[in-house]
Amino acid sequence: MNAPQEKTAAPLAPYRVLDLTDELGFLCGKMLGDLGADVIKVERPGGDPARALGPFYRGERHPEKSLYWFAFNNNKRGITLNLERPQGRHIFSGLVAGADFVIESFYPGYLDRLGMGYATMNQINPRLVVTSITPFGQTGPYSKFKASDIEIMAASGCMSLTGDPGRPPLRITFPQSYHWTGAYAAMGTLIAHWQRVQTGAGQQVDVSAQACMLWAFSHAHTFWDLNRHLEKRAGSFMTGRSITGAKMRVFWSCRDGYLNFIIYGGEAGRRTNQALVEWMDSKGMAPEFLKQKEWRAFNIAEVTQEEIDRMEEPIARFFETVTKKKFFQEVIKREMLGYPVATVEEIFQDPQLYARDFWRDLEHPELGTSITYPGGFAKLSESACGVWRRAPLIGEHNKEIYCDEMGMTKEEVRKLKSEGVI
């Protein structure tokens, strides 16, 4: 694609975002930034506590070296501001007047108590879209509950579907609910934005992390709704694909790790099953009954466990002879469904991502190096979506924003600093 790639060509370039989120909402502002918005991260003096989240650059625990912070706050500028001081709120009001979006993830009611809640912001700037992100929402019986990733995963139902039967339910080891919440918050924020484009009026967007996670497990709950059948965790197996209750193996041990392969139905599934048997046969490992199988008549929705077990046994033996790399090459060549269970190392070896120029290097002059980041989340034919700027250092753009844009003198800024306002 030949679209201009500079930030000013990105679709949200005219808009300014004030980002007052913690890790629950980082991705929301980042997505708007990836689409070109001018996102200003507003941190408390001394820096956001999420700068203490690992992993760290060269393993060095330091607020300016959190890779977690780097990854979810690039495309943002950064200022410090103490909202608990009246002067801090006065400055914030000035910023609100010139902003298009405010994203915040404070405990419900916190900003109201400071006199800086949605009602106040709306008075200052009626066009403003204010997105409020919390674990459970602004109101309701659990709105005051505290939650980190694992509580959100539990409350949403997600954990009940992950893990071995008879052992504890599991979350994904690397926290996921924060990113689901940030991404879905960006969606709600932009829907509200589109209404503003039509009407001129802003509004508040109340995002619940628990509710965002409901999409992460697709339709598992509909089994209960329709048929009073409870889907539960099944380890490495997939359930819910056959009305007989048969479960299919998803993860297969191979020579150097695991493969994800599922006996599917439908057209693509039948083609895959056929191609696998041909591949097995080329190695002399396809039993006669698999070779004779009439795949066009194979109906996954009605298959029995007995039939699945019989098919899976020789497939398991075959996969033991295959490496992840070989499997990946063959599924591409033979147009089969399936992928290796990739590690982060293998993701960096994937030629597809290089061909699409996915990886982007950003300079970190203070570290004397550049760092490779996942690039823009989409390729746009007429405009840009990408990463342009590394995450801000603590208060890095104080001068730029407070002096150059808001017209404060250096002396004023120094005074505010000594008073703990910025």
Partner 1 sequence: MQALKGLKVVEFAAFAAGPVVGKHLADYGATVVHLESRVRPDGFRTHYPPYKDNIHGLNRSGLFALCNSQKMAINLNLKKAPAATDLAKKIVAWADVVIENFSPGTMGRLGLGYETLKQVKPDLIMLSSSNLGQYGPHAEHAGFGSQLSSLSGFTNLTGYPDGPPQILYGPYIDYIAVAYGVAAIIAALDYKKRTGKGQQIDLAQYESGLQFVAPLLLDYKINGKVAMRNANRDPHAAPHGAYPCKGEDSWCVISVFSDAEWQALCRELGNPAWANEFRFASHEARKTNEDELDRRIAEWTSPLAAHEIVEKLQRAGVRSHVVQTMKDIYDDPQLRHRGQWIELEHPEIGKMHYQRPPYILSKSPAGPERRDPLLGEHNQYFYQDILGLSAPEYEKLIKEGVID
Q: What part of residues 257-296 is at the interface with partner 1 (CB under 8 A)?
A: 258, 260-262, 264-266, 268
Which residues are CB-contacts of 257 (< 8 A; sequence separation ≥ 6)?
A: 324, 340, 341, 343
Packing angle of the helix pair 26-34, 177-199 (nearest 10 deg): 50
Interatomic CA distance for residues 413 and 392, integer angstroms = 19
Least CB distance from residue 372 to partner 1, whole Å? 5
Interatomic CA distance for residues 83 and 257, integer angstroms = 50
Q: Counting contacts by CB under 8 A, is residue 236 touching partner 1? A: yes
Nearer to partner 1 (CB atom), residue 39 or residue 421: 39
Q: Counting contacts by CB under 8 A, is residue 218 touching partner 1? A: yes
Which residues are CB-contacts of 104 (< 8 A; sequence separation ≥ 6)?
A: 20, 21, 25, 111, 130, 131, 132, 133
Residue 308 has which token pair? 């699945």
101-140 footprint of partner 1 as x/- string (CB under 8 A): -----------------x------------x----xx-xx
Q: Report which secondary-structure segment, H or E, holds 373.
A: strand 369-374
Q: Which residues, 153 to 182, sit near partner 1 by CB under 8 A?
A: 153-164, 168-176, 179-180
Which one of 103, 111, 212, 394 is in contact with partner 1 (CB under 8 A)? Answer: 212
Which one of 29, 117, 340, 392 is in contact with partner 1 (CB under 8 A)? Answer: 340
**With CB under 8 A, what is the number of residues at the site for partner 1?**
163
Which one of 114, 285, 316, 341 is in contact with partner 1 (CB under 8 A)? Answer: 341
Residue 23 has which token pair? 């890790």
Q: Which of these segments, 65-73, 91-99, 305-313, 402-410, binds partner 1 (CB under 8 A)?
A: 65-73
342-381 footprint of partner 1 as x/- string (CB under 8 A): xxxx-xx-xxxx-xx-x------------xxxxx-xxxxx
Q: Which residues, 190 to 209, sit near partner 1 by CB under 8 A?
A: 190-195, 197-199, 201, 203-208
Which one of 251, 316, 393, 415 is in contact with partner 1 (CB under 8 A)? Answer: 251
Least CB distance from residue 337 to partner 1, whole Å? 6
Interatomic CA distance for residues 312 and 309, integer angstroms = 5
From the list 249, 387, 269, the residue with the least C-alpha distance to 335 is 269
Residue 77 three-state SS: strand
Q: How far apart are the first and last CA of the chain?
A: 43
Q: Residue 8 in contact with residue 37, Cβ under 8 Å?
A: no
Least CB distance from residue 16 to partner 1, whole Å? 14
Least CB distance from residue 84 to partner 1, whole Å? 20
Least CB distance from residue 62 to partner 1, whole Å? 14
From the list 157, 205, 285, the residue with the least C-alpha distance to 21 is 205
Residue 102 has which token pair? 């405010």
Which one of 85, 285, 287, 339 is in contact with partner 1 (CB under 8 A)? Answer: 339
